């Protein structure tokens, strides 16, 4: 099965790619993660901010967790929309009973 990808989704994917290390996503040469972390030592990443009291590592984990939840919800909504636009007469096996 082939999925149609909209130009908005392609744009999102390109923008999303620059959030994570360019070492992982080879189609980009720069990323916010690299810009933020490349000059930090492991000790600095494990240090708490004086302003917030949170570890840099915890902030990074929290950002990733929020993004994961957001993307799961976005894909769930997209799947729901696709289900509603399915041509009439096609029933899922569970609906056939």
User: Would you say residue 45 lies in a domain?
Assistant: yes
* Exposure b/e, 49-74, CB count within 10 A at least 16 = b: eeeeeeebeeeeeeeeeeeeeeeeee
Q: Are 12 and 31 part of one and the same domain?
A: yes
Q: Please give the pLDDT value at position 81.
A: 64
Q: Please give the pLDDT value at position 83.
A: 59
Residue by residue, pLDDT tens for the chain (97 residues) are 456 677 877 777 787 778 778 887 777 888 888 888 899 999 999 999 888 899 989 988 888 888 788 878 877 777 766 655 555 554 555 544 4
Residue span of the structural domain in which 52 resides: 40-86
User: Would you say residue 93 lies in a domain?
Assistant: no
Residue 52 makes CB contacts below 8 A (sequence gap 6+) with 59
Q: Please give the pLDDT value at position 12.
A: 76
User: Would you say residue 91 lies in a domain?
Assistant: no
């Amino acid at each position: 099965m082939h999925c149609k990808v909209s130009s908005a989704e392609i744009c999102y994917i390109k923008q999303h790619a620059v959030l994570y290390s360019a070492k992982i996503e080879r189609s980009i040469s720069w990323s916010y993660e690299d810009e933020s972390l490349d000059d930090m030592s492991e000790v600095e990443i494990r240090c708490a901010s004086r302003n917030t009291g949170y570890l840099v590592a915890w902030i990074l984990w929290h950002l990733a967790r929020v993004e994961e939840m957001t993307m799961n919800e976005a894909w769930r909504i997209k799947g729901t929309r696709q289900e509603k636009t399915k041509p009439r007469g096609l029933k899922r096996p569970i609906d056939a009973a």
